[in-house]
């Protein structure tokens, strides 16, 4: 046997035989009759369950810890289970698991595939930006100048501590001659503002406002809002009842708006997938979804996982939408350009 092996080696035929043997062994392990179909049943069931969660996320009840809203907030991240199941399916050499994995792949791409492409375009008449500056921001003036550096014509800021408002006003005064602060939210504009007033979102203090901005292309109703925070608690789940009530109130205010052109800027503490924001999202469209590049996650700034800061419009056409560099806040600022 040794001599035969050496002879084959000298003739240059041993290595192909060994390679062919390895390939045949791998093929045999994958095609071992019914085994490749029987293995990985649990993985296949997991793939089907993942598919159902993504398709029927709106049916997950909020009665227990607001699990529905919690799952919708981080719904894009459910896609991370797909490569995990793929690796496990390959390790198990399960054809059944790999075929079942096609289901969540198709569903995830159907829901979020459009966000993977760059839909931004050129042109537009008005650039807007919004930023939750964080009440504990160590550099208010620097944050204001950084957001203004985006070239925005209109800037909305949320979570403004009363004691720091003069710092923001001073930093933005040169570029934005018109501004108003209502409670803890403010609006700065290069164009004249009128009809400015607080908007009651049922919180007991002012965290939303509305103003008419007179641009060269006509009037636009601009809303600024900071929805109540949500919390994830071990004993209560995803607590968001006050946020949900405020969203309903904001939706009512927008529905009563007399102007056809509306722009909403702010921290909604929820994503476009969150059913609890339907009162708002059913009336407006997201600039990120219509003209963004990627998911545009804005929170937390250190490792963005969700887009809870929003620029939404009605009666205007989104042209581009993007996320700005980090400031001293725990949120990232976002900006968009729209055509009037």
Q: What is the CATH number of the domain that holds 174?
A: 3.60.10.10
Q: Which of 91, 116, 141 is the last residue of a domain?
A: 116
Buried b (16+ CB within 10 A) or exposed e, 158-172: bbbeeebeebbbebb
Lowest mean pLDDT among 11-20, 243-252, 294-303, 307-316: 11-20
Asked if residue 250 and residue 205 are part of one domain, the reply reads yes
Q: Could you read off the pLDDT of 123-141 as tens digits, one per residue?
A: 999 999 999 999 999 999 9
Q: Is residue 21 part of a domain?
A: no
Report residue 53 as tokens.
């969660």
pLDDT of residue 2: 45
Asked if residue 169 and residue 45 are part of one domain, the reply reads no
pLDDT of residue 6: 46
Domain containing residue 70: 32-116
Q: What percent of the chain has pLDDT over 70?
A: 86
pLDDT of residue 1: 46
Asked if residue 211 and residue 291 are part of one domain, the reply reads yes
Asked if residue 101 and residue 60 are part of one domain, the reply reads yes
Q: Is residue 6 part of a domain?
A: no
pLDDT of residue 150: 95
Asked if residue 257 and residue 163 are part of one domain, the reply reads yes
Q: Is residue 19 part of a domain?
A: no
pLDDT of residue 39: 86
Buried b (16+ CB within 10 A) or exposed e, 302-332: eebebbbbbbbbbebbbbbbbbbeebebbbb
- Alpha helices per DSSP H over the chain: 2-10, 14-30, 35-38, 41-55, 67-73, 81-92, 95-112, 140-148, 165-172, 241-255, 278-281, 287-291
Asked if residue 159 and residue 55 are part of one domain, the reply reads no
Report residue 302 as tokens.
């250190």
Q: How many distinct structural domains can be found in the chain?
A: 2
Asked if residue 161 and residue 305 are part of one domain, the reply reads yes
pLDDT of residue 29: 57
Q: Is residue 74 part of a domain?
A: yes
Lowest mean pLDDT among 88-97, 99-108, 232-241: 232-241
pLDDT of residue 38: 76
Asked if residue 211 and residue 320 are part of one domain, the reply reads yes
Confidence of residue 236 (pLDDT cuts 50, 70, 90): very low
pLDDT of residue 21: 64
Q: Which of 96, 116, 136 is the last residue of a domain?
A: 116
Which of 256, 263, 319, 316 lies closest to 288, judged by CA?
Answer: 319
Q: Is residue 294 part of a domain?
A: yes
Q: Is residue 95 part of a domain?
A: yes
Confidence of residue 199 (pLDDT cuts 50, 70, 90): very high
Asked if residue 321 and residue 203 are part of one domain, the reply reads yes
Q: What percent of the chain has pLDDT over 90?
A: 75
Asked if residue 151 and residue 245 are part of one domain, the reply reads yes
Report residue 86 as tokens.
């793929």
Q: Max Cα separation, the chain?
A: 98
Q: Is residue 60 part of a domain?
A: yes
As a whole number of angstroms, the distance between CA 227 and CA 81 comes to: 31
Q: Which of 116, 144, 166 is the last residue of a domain?
A: 116
Asked if residue 148 and residue 111 are part of one domain, the reply reads no
* Integer angstrom CA distances of residue 108 from 53, 104, 149, 230: 11, 6, 36, 26
Asked if residue 134 and residue 107 are part of one domain, the reply reads no
Q: Is residue 26 part of a domain?
A: no
């Amino acid at each position: 046997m040794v001599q035969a092996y050496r002879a084959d080696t000298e003739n240059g035929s041993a290595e192909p035989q060994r390679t062919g043997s390895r390939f045949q062994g791998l093929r045999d392990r994958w095609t071992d009759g019914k085994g490749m179909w029987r293995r990985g049943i649990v993985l296949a069931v997991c793939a089907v369950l993942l598919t159902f969660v993504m398709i029927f996320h709106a049916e997950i009840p909020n009665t227990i810890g607001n699990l529905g809203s919690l799952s919708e907030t981080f719904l894009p991240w459910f896609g991370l289970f797909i490569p995990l199941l793929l690796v496990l399916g390959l390790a198990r050499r399960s054809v059944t698991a790999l075929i079942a994995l096609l289901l969540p792949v198709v569903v995830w791409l159907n829901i979020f595939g459009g966000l993977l492409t760059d839909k931004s375009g050129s042109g537009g008449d008005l650039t807007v930006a919004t930023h939750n500056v964080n009440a504990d921001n160590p550099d208010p003036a620097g944050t204001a100048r950084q957001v203004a550096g985006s070239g925005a014509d209109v800037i909305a800021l949320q979570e403004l501590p009363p004691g720091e408002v003069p710092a923001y006003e001073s930093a933005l005064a040169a570029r934005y001659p018109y501004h108003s602060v209502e409670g803890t939210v403010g609006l700065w504009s290069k164009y004249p503002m009128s009809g400015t007033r607080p908007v009651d979102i049922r919180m007991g203090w002012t965290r939303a406002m509305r103003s008419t901005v007179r641009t060269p292309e006509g009037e636009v109703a601009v809303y600024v809002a900071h929805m109540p925070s949500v919390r994830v608690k071990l004993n209560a789940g995803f607590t968001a009842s006050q946020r949900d009530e405020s969203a309903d109130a904001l939706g009512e205010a927008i529905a009563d708006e007399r102007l056809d052109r509306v722009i909403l800027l702010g921290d909604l503490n929820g994503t476009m997938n969150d059913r609890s924001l339907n009162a708002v999202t059913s009336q407006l469209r997201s600039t990120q979804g219509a003209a963004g590049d990627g998911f545009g996650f804005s929170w937390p700034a250190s490792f963005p996982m969700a887009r809870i800061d929003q620029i939404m419009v009605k009666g205007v056409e989104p042209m581009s939408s993007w996320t700005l560099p980090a400031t001293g806040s725990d949120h990232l600022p976002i900006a968009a350009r729209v055509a009037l």
